[in-house]
Structure 1
Amino acid sequence: MSQITSGIRSILSHPTAYSTFQYLMGAKQGWTLFVNHYIRPKNGDVVLDIGCGPADIVEYLPNVDYWGFDISEEYITKAKAKYGQRGRFHSKILTLDDLKNMPEFDLVIACGVLHHVNDQIANDIFKLAYAALKPGGRFVTIDPCFTRDQNFIARFLISKDRGQNVRDQSGYESLARDIFPKIEASIRHKAWIPYTHCIMECTK
């Protein structure tokens, strides 16, 4: 993955520190908005979370069949300890072969994943999401984003992110367009602690 994990950024590799940082950055309100407005899960949906981290999003989901994958054993250990009864958590890189033993998914999500990977790996993630989805299913992503009109504090904070592949909206869209026939992308500027996100809904 293309990310910096040295210096102060290394603190965020620890699940408790990561969750605390997200909370201080307004994650509770952000998760609520992201889930209700963009993911829009229903009871009984089968949900795949690629790069789930400590799976904090589970707290905001209804009664779904949740599958979370992350390469960090520490994150998955934290997720199992906190949400073990509400999902299936796996510390591994998800592959197309793995999908053969898994159900078709109503929703696939990747929260803050794409800006950590180069275009080739991102393309593999989109292919994986497409293969995992039922016809009509959606792949929803959210990542920090650069825009021409963004607050200078937001630009500075994003430039210091661990992920070294932050793109603009067209950059994220071009990744999705290679795989998905229908893409809706939007930009959200957060005001309290200035930050900018690109959110995409990609429909199979």
Structure 2
Amino acid sequence: MPQTSQGVRGILSNPFIYSFFQLLMGAHKLRQNFVETLVKPFEGMKVLDVGCGPADILAYFPTVEYWGFDISKAYINQAQSRFCNRGRFQCKQLQHTDLPKLPAYDVVLALGLLHHLDDSVAIEIMQIASNALKEGGRLLTIDPCLDPSQNRIARFLVCKDRGRNVRDKDGYESLAKTVFESPRIEVRQQKWIPYTHCFIECRK
């Protein structure tokens, strides 16, 4: 089951509520640190965001060339309304057949996406990302993670995520190694609101 959209979890399908909830969970500091230390954007960088949601991450970038894909019309409408011509947004699932119409990218993002996907679909997304990257380009992902060292609150929150495929570090690493050589995997424990994230960096 890729995602639960029943009850309280279902209201996160609303882009305004989703963005607000993310901020409550400490997303501002997380995104800021992620962009500054991992993405390291430069003017004119070509960025592909797979499963971009309302594209909140774009607010943390300088002038970049940004493409965002998401299957939620509500999320894409919110992204277009907020960012206008700062990005190109498409309401569709990115496929291999879309790539000939797109440029080669410096960075492909899949933020909070893999834990919504079963292994076969997640591997396909990583293969699409690899094909979309220019030589030396990077795939960067963030997902909630199960970890023996996480405290009870973090584990509770991670287990209540809408995504039904939350993995441990080894699970995410296994996915990445199917497509990329020597992915960098890091698990970080968030303290201000207890949560556990797995960061993956894969270079083509």
Q: Which residue of 1 aligns with 2:67?
A: 67
Residues in 2 aligned to 1:27 and 1:149: alpha-carbon distance in whole angstroms: 21
2:48 corresponds in structure 1 to 48
- SS of 1:11's partner is helix
* Structure 1 consecutive aligned stretches of length 4 or more whose deviation exceeds 3 Å: none
How far the C-alpha of 1:39 sits from its partner, in A, is 1.5
Distance 2:173 2:84 in 1: 34
Root-mean-square deviation over aligned CA pairs = 0.7
Q: Specify the alignment match of 1:3 in structure 2.
A: 3
Q: Tell me, what secondary structure is at the counterpart of 1:106? A: strand
Percent identity of equivalent pairs: 52
Give the gaps of 5 or more residues in structure 2. none
For structure 1, the residue ranges without an aligned partner over 5 or more in a row are none
Paired residues for 1:113-192 under 5 Å: 113-192=113-192
The corresponding residue for 1:95 is 95
Instruction: Answer yes or no: is 1:22 the counterpart of 2:22.
Output: yes
- Matched position secondary structure for 2:164: coil
1 CA distance for matches of 2:182 and 2:90? 29
Question: What SS does the aligned partner of 1:199 have?
Answer: strand
Q: Whole-Å Cα distance in 1 between the matches of residues 56 and 75 of structure 2?
A: 10
Deviation at 1:27, TM superposition (A): 1.1
1:42 is displaced (CA, Å) by 1.3
Q: Name the SS of the counterpart of 2:179 in structure 1.
A: coil
Distance in 2 between residues matched to 1:126 and 1:200, nearest whole Å: 11
- 1:182 CA displacement: 2.8
TM-score, with length taken from structure 2: 0.99
